[in-house]
Amino acid sequence: MKKPVVLVVCTGNSMRSQMAEALLRRDLGDLIEVHSAGTHPSHVHRHAIRTMEEIGIDMSLHYSKSVFEFARHEIDLVITVCDSAKESCPVIPGAKRTVHQGYPDPYHASPTQDPEVMFAELRDQMRKELVELVCEELRLTRPQHQTGA
């Protein structure tokens, strides 16, 4: 049986969508195929890579991809994770469903807080919320082993 395909989208495909892809792959990879992309791809942010390393996820080989690379793919669920991507995300013809679960930009959200702390908080929040969202949207049984970071 073919796994449902999930595409996580943000603007640069540099932080939020990359982290979401890695988290969903680790926690739901037996149940879904997951990718990430950006409306204006750039590079994978070093804080995103470092934050994921803290919980044993290697993103060192990740690279930014454009949503247009997935235009002809059959996608069961598109999740936009930033407001800008929600507003500018092109219609993906093969997408069966699109939902928005916005998160603040961890690098620019607060000039007084340590970016590493903000990335870690974002990672932990995304892990909890996105696993629940994907399981609900695709009607999957949530894995019992998925409890926290």
**Structural domain boundaries of the chain?**
5-138
Pick the CATH number of 5-138 from 3.90.550.10, 3.40.50.2300, 2.40.50.140, 3.40.50.720: 3.40.50.2300
- Is 82 noted as a catalytic residue in this protein? yes
pLDDT band for position 149 (50/70/90)? Answer: very low
Please determine, for residue 130, whether its predicted confidence score (pLDDT) is greater than 70: yes
Phi, psi at residue 76, to the nearest 5°?
-80, -35
Within 68-139, residue ranges assigned H as helices are 83-88, 115-138
- Is 89 noted as a catalytic residue in this protein? yes
Please determine, for residue 45, whether its predicted confidence score (pLDDT) is greater than 80: yes
Active-site residue, selected from the candidate residues 6, 89, 92, 134: 89
Q: What is the pLDDT of residue 89?
A: 64
Active-site residue, selected from the candidate residues 6, 7, 9, 10: 10
What span, in angstroms and rounded, lies between the C-alpha atoms of 5 and 35? 8
Q: What is the pLDDT of residue 90?
A: 64
Q: What is the pLDDT of residue 86?
A: 65
Residues 46-105: tens digit of each pLDDT: 999 999 999 999 999 999 999 999 988 999 999 999 877 666 666 777 799 999 999 988
Show the CA angle centred on residue 128, arms to residues 75 and 140, nearest 5°. 45
Q: Which residue has the higher pLDDT, 85 or 122?
A: 122
Over residues 11-24, mean pLDDT: 96
Over residues 110-124, mean pLDDT: 86
- Is 10 noted as a catalytic residue in this protein? yes
User: Where is average pLDDT lowest: 3-7, 34-38, 67-71?
Assistant: 67-71
